[in-house]
Amino acid sequence: MKRLIKPTAVNGIIHPPASKSLAQRAIAVASLALGQSKILHPGNSDDVLAAIRVCRTLGSEIQQLPNSLIINGGINEPHEPLDCGEAGLGIRMFSLIAATLDKPVILTGRGTLTKRPMSSIEQSIVAMGAKCKTNNGYVPITVCGPLPGGTAKVDGSLSSQVLTGMLLAAPLAKSELIIQVSNLKSKPYIDLTIDVMKRFGVEVENDNYKTFGIKPESEYSPAEIVVEGDWSGAAFMLVAGAIAGKVRVENISLSSKQADRAIVDALKLAGASISSGKNSIEVKTNELKGFIFDATDCPDLFPPLVALAAYCKGETSIRGVSRLKTKESNRAATLKEEFGKLGVVIKIKGEEMIINGKIPVAGTVKSHGDHRIAMACAVAGLAAKGNIEINDAQAVAKSYPEFFNDLRSIIKD
């Protein structure tokens, strides 16, 4: 699918999609809790639908209603592979959860997930005392439990998602489990995981993000949870307001544990005009200047930050480049390539991405199958010097299926 973005001002109100980070965790935990749970406003992104599909294959009964899910939890050995779609978080969560079962379970993926390395999953499962085999470091993955408990060590430098899977699976271990973590990145995502577990009745002992403990008698209990708006999706719309007019995002929690809430800090550094209300935030265009920002704990902000930096006078530096290699694309390389087609020069120096502010020119770009690249290029086109065409724009369905409809709704004719 191709999308053509024409330079235009924006002015309107957006209700962001449901947080897929929160929804996927809630669906997984509800499926582990014996009894009936209810998840309100889970959204319909591809990753959320993949989580529903996997949990059904594992034996949970899930009823999809308008704006809610009714989940009767309980998992057992599946009779077919677990299809995780393109969900990186999903395959990392469900590999560890499946490793609590006594028989081999196969997990597969599609599209960009087939190109993403899975060695960290194998290492973590083996560290927890279960069995795991990948296809030369890629999907399909075969796992076999049970998890005996004890002490497991994991390197958290590449992705916090593996640790999320370990934490979610830990209450199903045969004995008390201690997880020792080194070089943990994206701590806010672990806070989110621990919060979801707590809401379903399991307490995690967190010793300064280096050691995590879950006692064996801990059990998930059914719960009702409301999925809040997604800061990752909202970030693109807020940047749209900063560079092309005015946008107010509603139904967004300003006290959220989502890592990408940090977009507000970046917008302030850039000089955007910001005002907030109860569960809403409004951003208006202003004279923007280059800024320095550390995105190590929120790497999904790189794409909207690059779109923002293009309209900032001077140089912008964003840290955390190493976190971008194992996303839907190698985002550092992809951002450099695609924004380069629009005349925006990006340099990579170790952990730093340096963007020289320059209003994008007309051009044709491609998403590389990466939802956040498609959205970044679309937002960057709103005040560009000419039209920008985006190839493979359907990638936005992974996290924000209504992105282009929402964008159209705030365009001033």
> In sequence order, what E strands does 95-194 have?
105-108, 131-135, 138-144, 150-155, 177-182
Residue 161, both tokens: 């998602």
What is the b/e burial string over 181-205, where b = at least 16 CB atoms within 10 angstroms of the residue's CB? Answer: beebbbebbbbbbbebbebbebebe
How far are the Cα atoms of 22, 181, 231, 356, 378 from residue 307, in angstroms, in the given order?
25, 34, 16, 11, 9
| Separation of alpha carbons 362 and 369, rounded Å | 21
| Separation of alpha carbons 204 and 221, rounded Å | 15
Peptide bond between residue 140 and the one before it cis (omega within 30 degrees of 0): yes
- By the 10 Å C-beta count (0-12 exposed, 13-18 middle, 19+ buried), 307 is classed as buried
Q: Is 300 labeled as catalytic in the residue annotation? A: yes
Of 300, 370, 392, 406, the catalytic one is 300
Peptide bond between residue 146 and the one before it cis (omega within 30 degrees of 0): yes
- The DSSP call for residue 273 is E
Active site residues: 300
